[in-house]
Amino acid sequence: MYCKKIMIVQTIRRTATCTTQLNYQKAEPSIKLKTHTDSTGVCSPHLSLQLELQSQSMAASTAVTANYVLKPPPYALDALEPHMSKQTLEFHWGKHHRAYVDNLKKQVLGTELEGKPLDHIINKTYNNGDLLPAFNNAAQAWNHEFFWESMKPNGGGKPSGELLALLERDFTSYEKFYEEFNAAAATQFGAGWAWLAYANDKLKVVKTPNAVNPLVLGSFPLLTIDVWEHAYYLDFQNRRPDYIKTFMNNLVSWEAVSARLEAAKTASSSSA
């Protein structure tokens, strides 16, 4: 039974460049998996079923090691130059992201959170806004992996196809979306993130402080930009607007965004 459930998750994973597909379900910690059982009693996956995770074992078997691991970006640390320097990646991924992962492992050791999937920890420790201690490390570990996968070498610019159509539908034009995303990223005061997110069949721009992400706000993240100062200080110093522009024009991976959108639509239509 369990291996079939794992297959479902792997199928979704293979269709997407982002490995955080597991997180595309409603922000609830305990969820059930539905499968189709045929007449011979063989349980088989089909993609239209609700993608929900069994709370412990299945999630644990597929998610834990992945989620508690410092996964490298899907490109070399110098591959985003000149838009984001190798030095920035070395510190941002190699020190900051690494510390979130290592500190999270230490923090959950011996607690009821130990061994739980990352998204479970995030939701539990978000605690409706009254943050529990492990939230910062858990959410930041998730956010950073999502961020690296939101970028690619020679990225940026305008998307095409269905994604462009949806951006035009929900923002009236790509330029309006760009303006709104840019404004959110520029005006998030202090540390935080700006996001393109999907909820109720609509795309929207969201900004969040510190480690907060749209998962805990009930929407599916599709794209993010890190606006903590450590994300841009070595390359841009105080010039956050220049960093945002460079990200939008040269770094965004619309492929990743499209794949995440597909997964989000599947997850949300089947969990209705």
The binding site for another protein (CB under 8 A) comprises 91, 95-96, 99, 136, 189-192, 209-211, 228-230, 233-234, 237-238
Nearer to another protein, 216 or 257 (CB): 216
What are the backbone dihedrals phi and psi of residue 116, each rounded to the nearest 5 degrees, phi first? Answer: -80, 155
Pick between residue 94 and residue 115 the one whose CB is nearest to another protein: 94
- As measured in angstroms, the least distance from the Cβ of 212 to another protein is 10
Give least dist CB 162 to another protein, A. 36
Q: CB of 265: closest distance to another protein in angstroms?
A: 32
Amino acid present at 42 = V
Q: Give the whole-angstrom CA distance, residue 125 versus residue 139.
A: 9
Looking at the Cβ atoms of 220 and 247, the one nearer to another protein is 247
Evaluated on CA atoms 66, 207, 192, 251, the torsion sign reads positive
Which CB atom, from 36 or from 95, has the smaller least distance to another protein?
A: 95
For the CB of residue 87, give the shortest distance to another protein in the complex, in Å.
Answer: 9
Q: What is the nearest approach in angstroms of another protein to the Cβ of residue 190?
A: 4
Q: At its nearest, how many Å lie between another protein and the CB of residue 234?
A: 7
Question: To the nearest whole angstrom, how small is the minimum distance from the Cβ of residue 86 to another protein?
Answer: 14
Nearer to another protein, 24 or 247 (CB): 247
The residue among 126 and 177 lying less far from another protein, judged by its C-beta, is: 126
* Sequence-separated (6 or more) residues with CB below 8 Å from residue 59: 22, 53, 116, 117, 120
